[in-house]
Amino acid sequence: MTLDKIELSAVIAASAEDVFAAWMSAKAHAAFIGAPAAIAARAVDGSATVR
């Protein structure tokens, strides 16, 4: 089965500002998810990679 789109939702015990900051900072994102992360700061699509 091929999926073109995956949608995920979750309740996170944090403010919207804290979640956004963690999403936009590789260091904060890595701490948030507990794994190394790389954020493409200039990517048009705002892509992020978790390794």
Residue 16: predicted pLDDT: 87
In the numeric block, which tokens belong to residue 20?
Answer: 């956004």
The residue-averaged pLDDT of 7-36 equals 85
- ∠ at Cα 31 (34, 15), nearest 5°? 115
User: For residue 49, is pLDDT > 60?
Assistant: no
In the numeric block, which tokens belong to residue 14?
Answer: 């944090």
User: For residue 35, is pLDDT > 80?
Assistant: yes
User: For residue 34, is pLDDT > 60?
Assistant: yes
More confident residue, 16 or 1: 16
Domain residue extents for the chain: 16-50
The residue-averaged pLDDT of 8-21 equals 86
User: For residue 12, is pLDDT > 80?
Assistant: yes
Burial of 37: CB neighbours in 10 Å, binned 0-12, 13-18, 19+: buried
